[in-house]
Amino acid sequence: MDSSFQIGNIWGIPIKLHWTFVVGIFWVAIAFGIIPPITFLGKTYGFGSVEPASIKWIYSFAFATLLFICVAVHELGHSYVARHYNIGIRSITLYLFGGVSAMEEIPRNPRLEFRMAVVGPLVSGLLGAVSVLIYIESAMLLGTEHPLSILLWTLAIVNIILMVFNLLPAFPMDGGRVLRAWFATRMPYVIATRRAAGIGKMFAILMVVLGIFSLNVLLLLIAFFIYIGASEEERATTVDVCLEGVKVKNIMSSEVHTVTPDTSLKDLLDLMFREKHRGYPVVENGSLQGIVTLTDVQKVPDQQRDLTTVGQIMNKNLYVISPDEEASSAVKMMAERGIRRIPVTENNNLVGIVSREDLVRAMELCSARDFTPSISAPGTLPESKI
């Protein structure tokens, strides 16, 4: 089941909310609504003392909503720069601890990655500065203790904290990408990623230690988020670089066992038993019609399988790939869709099938050979642009 849902579309980019984001809004709103107001350097934070209660909760939820809108604008900053350099953005997903822009390709040019990474913290800093300016006007008109003034000042400080936090040199924060861009000017891209990811993991381990000694659950959650993000970035980059230039047709299986739509389920089960396959493409006159799996068959009662054909139960909602697409695209499709095999079609005719095992084999062969990835990639900036 997909753990995210789409709420809108900006610049043609789907904006999605992860369930943790929804939890985050309520968590932030409740935290700022129930904690006693904190005074620091003459400024008040929190809405615990605001009366009546209805006004307190209105401002608490307004603050939480505005905060996460700022997170979305932060991600849009990354996406704007990516689009400027013709890097497609499949979606933006907002999580509890921030947002993630799903790019169609990883920018492997250090200067381009630097620009994309640094713009996010700059946006957060700009939002913080704008909030300060609006706060000054609000404080002059309503006073510093008015809930609106408290909201604006708190929003300003939190955005500045987000800017500083995102500049930490640790994946998956923007500072980790800036660090990788710096490393990538001095070493192969994969090694640069490993070093930056390693530093990110060190930050995560340090946070775990601090979280345990301070009994801070939030710090432990952030550490987990950083460690997993660093590991995933390292894995994804290794796969992309290793499979660079490898086409689906280079690794797919061309000899595919298929069945026709009029095959009975009894015959299909016999075939599955003999060949030890759990699923088959359904082909008629060379054209791919669907996919049938053991799970589909098991939904039909035993006594009806003699009278039921594959065409009646096959899945017609297919995910297919072209033989000329990059093998790394198949990796991403399998990960996003939670599938193990993808039919390879050309003009709707089945020409092969690529499986997770095919990709693993290609990765093993890649790892066994001595290669030095280039830091150049499609989207490289002209030398005159600094």
Extract the runs of DSSP E, i.e. beta strands, from 19-161. 38-40, 43-45, 89-95, 98-103
110 and 231 both lie in a single domain: yes
Say if residue 262 is in the same domain as residue 226.
Answer: no
What's the rounded Cα separation, in Å, for the pair 75 and 121? Answer: 10
pLDDT band at 2 (very low <50, low <70, confident <90, very high): low
Under a CB-based contact definition with an 8 Å cutoff, are residues 195 and 230 in contact?
Answer: no
* Token output for 383: 């030398």
75, 113, 233, 234: the catalytic one is 75
Per-residue confidence (pLDDT) for residue 127, from 0 to 100: 93
28 within some domain: yes
Pairwise CA distance, residues 324 & 330, whole Å: 11
Higher pLDDT, 204 or 359: 204
Confidence tier at 375 by pLDDT (50, 70, 90):
very low
Q: Over 60: is that where the pLDDT of 384 sits?
A: no
Q: What would the pLDDT profile of 347-357 be if each residue is shown by its tens digit? A: 777 888 887 77
Assess whether 276 and 209 both reside in one domain: no
pLDDT of residue 213 exceeding 80: yes
Q: Is residue 378 part of a domain?
A: no
Percent of the chain with pLDDT over 90: 3
pLDDT at residue 360, rounded to an integer? 77
Provide the residue range defining the domain that includes 274.
Answer: 248-368
Mean of pLDDT over the chain: 78
In a domain, 348, yes or no: yes
pLDDT for residue 37 = 63
| Mean pLDDT (whole number) for 221-231 | 80
- Same domain as 223, residue 306: no
Same domain, residue pair 68 and 44: yes
336 and 259 within one domain = yes
Q: 256 and 154 in one domain?
A: no
pLDDT in tens, 254-302: 777 888 888 888 888 888 888 877 778 888 887 888 888 888 888 888 8
Give the whole-angstrom CA distance, residue 252 versus residue 151.
Answer: 57
> How does residue 26 score in pLDDT terms, banded at 50, 70 and 90?
confident
Tell me if the bond preceding 52 is cis, omega within 30° of 0.
Answer: yes
Q: What is the mean pLDDT of residues 41-46?
A: 64
> pLDDT class for 366, splitting at 50, 70, 90?
low
- In this prediction, residues 232-241 reach a mean pLDDT of 73
Domain-terminating residue out of 242, 277, 312: 242
Q: Is the pLDDT of residue 378 over 80?
A: no
Can you say whether the dihedral through the CA atoms of 114, 117, 119, 122 is positive or negative?
negative
Q: How many CA atoms lie within 13 A of 247 on its CB side?
A: 8
Q: Which residues have C-beta within 8 Å of that of residue 113, sequence separation ≥ 6? A: 107, 177, 178, 180, 181, 184
- Tell whether 216 and 274 lie within a shared domain: no
Q: Is residue 79 part of a domain?
A: yes
Q: What is the pLDDT of residue 122?
A: 92
Same domain, 221 and 339: no
- At 93-145, the pLDDT tens digits run 776 656 666 666 666 678 888 888 888 899 999 999 999 999 888 888 888 77
* Backbone φ, ψ for residue 8 (5° rounding): 180, -170
| pLDDT of 229 higher than 90 | no
Active site residue 75: yes
What pLDDT is stored for residue 142 in this prediction?
86
pLDDT at 227: 83
In the predicted structure, residue 157 carries a pLDDT above the cut 60: yes
* CATH number for the domain harbouring residue 320: 3.10.580.10
Q: How many domains does the structure of the chain reveal?
A: 2
Q: Is pLDDT of 372 > 50?
A: no
Q: Which pLDDT belongs to residue 40?
A: 59
Domain match, 110 and 69 both? yes
CA 95 to centroid of chain Cα atoms: 10
pLDDT at 279: 79
**Which is more confident, 131 or 215?**
131
Geometric angle at alpha carbon 253, from 365 and 337, rounded to 5°:
85
Select from 353, 314, 356, 307 the least CA-distant residue to 331.
356
Query: Of residues 67 and 382, which shows the higher confidence score?
Result: 67
User: In this predicted structure, what is the pLDDT of residue 373?
Assistant: 41
Asked if residue 44 has pLDDT above 70, the reply is: no
58-99 pLDDT, tens digit per residue, is: 888 888 888 888 888 888 888 888 888 777 777 777 766 566
Residue 262 to residue 299: CA distance in whole angstroms: 18
Domain identity same for 153 and 291: no
Nearest to 256 by CA among 235, 282, 236, 230: 282
Cα 248–252–256 angle (5° rounding)? 140
* pLDDT of amino acid 125: 92
